[in-house]
Amino acid sequence: MIGLGTLINIGTIVAGSTIGVAIGSKLPERTNRVVTDALGLITLVMGGLNLAALGDAELVAAVGPAAPFLIIVGALLIGSIIGSLVGIEARLETFGSFLHAKVAAKSGGAANSARDRFIQGFVDASLIFAIGPLAILGAFSDGMGLGIDQLVLKSILDGFASIAFAASLGWGVAFAALPVGIWQGVLTLAAFALGSVLPGASIATLTATGGVLLLGVGLRLLNLRAVSVADMLPALVVA
């Protein structure tokens, strides 16, 4: 069944977030902060590993040894300009604020700090779960009928990550399942339509570009800099 991998992924994010919220309410703030820092460091490592795709043999053979880096730089610059003009980050935050208002209305309202935490959880978790290489490669594999093994692996990883995220950032993490489902669903349908047309070199550039974006998410989680990663998402299309 095409799309089954994404449905499983959505389920594990929601389930993991539910467990995380239940655990998080019993943990002190300092513990939640340490968990978030750990996730930030792990995200930086993931981003760095994805950058190894710049040396992919098929990519180097197609464009030469120096061109991959220039392609990523160009994609990021053009994508960032497009994303900032469209206002993707602001729209995501607005959507997160809207979701929080709906949740808060049912729970009798919430403080601004809880609202900010909800939005951070929604935006950061959406970015981490959606732009990793497994999201792209797994969705392509599912769409081309090559199996859902990669998305099942991603689902397990996202499930555990959502427990940790939700423990410190709350219900916003669960709602990240919405953009993840839409993004992976679109990729799956595109792969189903294109078949095996997409070359390995293109997948390598997508993976490396996603690695740079993950580095930005890691910096956000560590509170080192509020990088507007969402505004850079068009770079994945440009790449």
Among residues 9, 2, 26, the alpha carbon closest in space to that of 177 is found at 9
Residue 72 DSSP symbol: H
Distance CA 11, CA 4 (A): 11
Question: Per the structure block, which two tokens stand in for 85?
Answer: 């003009």
User: What letter represents residue 117's amino acid?
Assistant: R
CA-only gyration radius of the chain, Å: 18
Instruction: Name the 3-class secondary structure at 233.
Output: coil
Among residues 208, 206, 223, 171, the alpha carbon closest in space to that of 39 is found at 223
| pLDDT tens column, 46-74 | 888 889 889 888 888 888 888 999 999 99
| pLDDT tens column, 92-129 | 888 877 776 776 666 555 556 777 888 888 888 888 88
Q: Is 196 exposed, middle or buried (0-12, 13-18, 19+ CB in 10 A)?
A: exposed
pTM for this prediction = 0.73
